A and B are shown apart, each in its own frame.
Chain A
Amino acid sequence: MKILIVDDSKTMRLIIGRTLKELGHEIREAGNGREAITALKAETGWGLVMADWNMPEMNGLEMVIAVKAEEVFKPLPIMMVTTETEMSNIQKAMDAGAAGFIMKPFKKEAIQEKIAGLAAVAS
Chain B
Amino acid sequence: MAENPMAEFAAIFVEESGGRLTELKGAVEALAGNPALPAECEKARISSHTIRGMAAQMGYEDIAKVSKEVEMLFVELKKSGSAPSPDMVSGARDCAAALEKMFSVLASGTPPGIHPEILASRMQTLSAGIGAAK
State which residues 1-33 of A face B: CB under 8 Å. 8-12, 14-15
Q: Is there an interface contact between A54 and B46, defined as CB atoms closer than 8 Å? A: yes
Alpha-carbon distance A5/B9, docked complex (angstroms): 17
Q: Is there an interface contact between A85 and B71, defined as CB atoms closer than 8 Å? A: yes
The answer to whether the Cβ of B124 comes within 8 Å of any Cβ in the partner chain is no
Given that A85-B71, A85-B72 are known contacts, is A12 also in contact with B52, CB under 8 Å in the complex?
no
| A-B residue pair count with CB separations less than 8 angstroms | 43
Alpha-carbon distance A9/B17, docked complex (angstroms): 9
B75 to chain A minimum Cβ distance, whole angstroms, is 6
Binds A, one of B24-32, B54-62, B103-111, B112-120: B54-62
B64 to chain A minimum Cβ distance, whole angstroms, is 8
- A 89-118 binary contact with B (CB < 8 Å = 1; else 0): 000000000000000111000000000000
Given that A83-B49, A85-B71 are known contacts, is A10 also in contact with B16, CB under 8 Å in the complex?
yes
A17 to chain B minimum Cβ distance, whole angstroms, is 10
Given that A85-B72, A85-B75, A105-B56 are known contacts, is A9 also in contact with B46, CB under 8 Å in the complex?
no
B interface residue numbers (CB < 8 A to A): 6, 9, 12-13, 16-17, 46, 49-50, 52-54, 56-59, 68, 71-72, 75
27 chain-A/chain-B pairs, Cβ below 8 angstroms: A8-B50, A9-B50, A11-B12, A11-B13, A11-B16, A11-B54, A11-B58, A12-B54, A12-B57, A14-B9, A14-B12, A15-B6, A15-B9, A15-B57, A54-B49, A54-B50, A83-B52, A83-B53, A85-B49, A85-B68, A85-B72, A85-B75, A104-B56, A104-B57, A105-B56, A105-B57, A105-B59
- Additional 14 contacts, C-beta under 8 A, given A15-B58, A104-B57: A8-B50, A9-B50, A11-B12, A11-B54, A11-B57, A12-B54, A14-B12, A83-B52, A83-B53, A85-B49, A85-B71, A85-B72, A104-B53, A104-B56
10 tightest Cβ-Cβ pairs between the two chains A and B: A105-B56, A105-B57, A11-B54, A11-B13, A104-B53, A11-B16, A11-B12, A54-B46, A104-B57, A14-B9
